[in-house]
């Protein structure tokens, strides 16, 4: 969310110097807000599904949600 000030950021072996939001999204990087910055009328699952709208198909959305909920 902020510019890279120094050093390097690597994702899957690729160095990122000035990634665009589109680059990040296509690489599977997304911002998931926590706290009160979500749609309060929706469940947690519905909020996560909404965040997956740009993904290609329901299976990709479900896989993304499962990945997000899996401890790493």
Q: What pLDDT shows up at residue 1?
A: 59
Render pLDDT for 4-16 as a digit per residue (tens, 0 to 9): 788 888 888 888 8
Number of domains in the chain: 1
Q: What pLDDT shows up at residue 8?
A: 81
Report if residue 24 sits inside a domain: yes
Under 8 Å between Cβ of 21 and 37: no
Report if residue 38 sits inside a domain: yes
Q: Which domain holds residue 16?
A: 9-69
Render pLDDT for 16-71 as a digit per residue (tens, 0 to 9): 887 887 887 778 777 766 666 677 888 877 877 777 766 677 788 788 778 877 77
Report if residue 1 sits inside a domain: no
Report if residue 2 sits inside a domain: no
Rounded Cα–Cα distance for residues 17 and 37 (Å): 28
Write down the residue that tokens 């909020």 correspond to.
47
Q: What pLDDT shows up at residue 32?
A: 65
Could you give phi then psi for residue 14, rounded to 5 degrees?
A: -105, 130
């Amino acid at each position: 969310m902020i510019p890279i000030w120094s050093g390097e950021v690597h994702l899957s072996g690729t160095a990122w110097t000035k990634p665009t939001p589109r680059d990040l999204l296509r690489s599977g990087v997304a911002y998931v807000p926590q706290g009160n910055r979500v749609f309060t009328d929706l469940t947690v699952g519905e909020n996560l599904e909404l965040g997956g709208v740009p993904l290609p198909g329901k299976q990709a959305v479900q896989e993304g949600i499962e990945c997000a909920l899996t401890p790493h």
